[in-house]
């Protein structure tokens, strides 16, 4: 646990990398449980407006490019690794005092790497969270997607609040 103390005492945004690791672990654990306990496309009702439905996505968000011939797998892996590298550099340059930005970047990084792992190992991303209202369904997603979305929201909020403080 000494290594964790060393990372959390850093004076830059890299102190938040433990969040990225946590996101990856929880994402992969949830995907493992989903693939081993759900049948493909069979919905398991959990509560109103929420089901568990195992699906696979060879494309990006909202199944963008999912029907392409296979090149998209390598494109999305390369893109995520490039963006992940930029995020690590951004984190390194972010002061530890900018907690919202650091946390947001760490969530995005963890989510991106969780989905990259799927693409490398399975050739596609495992999705299983199905949110809907009546007959309108949001595209099925996973914990990595949730972390990316939450991280993006934190960055937007941070930008708005930082911009307001700069004035």
Q: Strands of 136-137's sheet, edge to edge?
A: 43-47, 50-57, 125-133, 136-137
Per-residue pLDDT reduced to its tens digit, 119-161: 999 988 999 999 999 989 899 999 999 999 999 999 999 999 8
158 annotated active-site: no
Q: Which helix (H) or strand (E) holds 100?
A: helix 99-122
Catalytic residue (choose from 27, 118, 130, 145): 145
51 annotated active-site: no
Give the chain's end-to-end CA distance (angstroms, integer). Answer: 42
Catalytic residue (choose from 51, 127, 130, 158): 127
Least confident of 62-71, 92-101, 132-141: 62-71
Per-residue pLDDT reduced to its tens digit, 17-53: 999 999 999 999 999 999 999 999 999 999 999 999 9
What Å distances lie between residue 123 and 73, 76, 77, 107, 140, CA to CA? 7, 11, 10, 23, 17
Task: Break the chain into its structural domains and give their ranges.
Answer: 15-166
Residue with tokens 């929201």: 153
Q: What is the mean pLDDT of residues 62-66?
A: 55
At 62, the pLDDT band (50, 70, 90 cuts) reads low
Contact (Cβ atoms closer than 8 angstroms) between residue 63 and residue 146: no
For the chain, how many helices (H) and strands (E)?
5, 4
């Amino acid at each position: 646990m000494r290594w964790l103390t060393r990372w959390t005492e850093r004076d830059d945004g890299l102190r938040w990398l433990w969040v990225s690791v946590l996101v990856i672990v929880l994402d992969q654990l949830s995907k493992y449980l989903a693939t081993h306990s759900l049948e493909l496309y069979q919905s398991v009702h959990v509560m109103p407006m929420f089901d568990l439905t195992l699906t696979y996505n060879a494309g990006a968000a909202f199944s963008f490019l999912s029907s392409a011939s296979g090149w998209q797998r390598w494109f999305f892996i390369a893109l995520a690794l490039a963006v992940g590298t930029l995020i690590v550099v951004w984190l390194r340059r972010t002061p530890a005092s900018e907690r919202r930005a650091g946390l947001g970047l760490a969530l995005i990084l963890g989510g991106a790497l969780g989905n990259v792992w799927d693409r490398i190992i399975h050739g596609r991303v495992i999705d299983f969270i199905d949110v809907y209202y009546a007959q309108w369904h949001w595209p099925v997603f996973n914990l990595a997607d949730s972390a990316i979305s939450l991280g993006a929201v934190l960055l937007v909020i941070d930008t708005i609040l930082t911009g307001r403080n700069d004035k």
